Amino acid sequence: MEQLTIPLAEIQVTGNNPRTLFDEEALLDLTESIRTLGLQQPVSVRRMWTACGGGGTTGVRYELISGERRLRAAQRLGWTEIPAVVQDLARLRQLSELAAGENPIEALEPQLMLRRLDENLKRASLSPLEEGQAYLTLTDLGVDVDDLARRIGLSPGHVYARMKLLELGDLALDALRTGWITPDRKSVV
């Protein structure tokens, strides 16, 4: 891993963040905290090599792995660059214990998703529905529920319960999103 200061324009945010809802008040608080105290932890990115026109040269851009709230706060503050830790993909590949013949890029996605999920669970809370969607995405990528639960320090029952929330009807999903009911009250609906 190396730490760099990267222009915000070179960081690409993908749709792979488990967090889909960004609480405006919490984001304002984070922005003010960063304005007052500075950025306490850099964002985490990985390199993406891109073609740069005519001469066949390549350029570097970065994909955000974790820290989208910090990135948004930096943008609100008018920053043009942000401290970032560049993740070593070779190290991530070793960590993912790839099976022989597996596409290394595709095999890294569950590992990156686990990092994003872990970061979001430890920071400002994900909604129960975002949490369930993240678990479902990981199982769709081939991560076993027991292994997932072990990696994030929760029970398999918790993981299954959060994924089960996604099967509720529209009325119950809206009630969960707005906080009118809690995940443990879903059986009442």
Which amino acid, 61?
R
Catalytic site includes residue 130: no
Six-digit token string for 102: 């597996």
* Beta carbons of 186 and 172 less than 8 angstroms apart: yes
* Beta carbons of 56 and 17 less than 8 angstroms apart: no
Return d(Cα 66, Cα 68) in angstroms, integer: 6
Return d(Cα 92, Cα 63) in angstroms, integer: 15
3-state secondary structure of 168: coil
Return d(Cα 95, Cα 77) in angstroms, integer: 36
Return d(Cα 154, Cα 149) in angstroms, integer: 5
Of the residues 10, 24, 63, 68, which is catalytic?
A: 68
Six-digit token string for 79: 């920053």
Residues labelled as active-site residues: 68
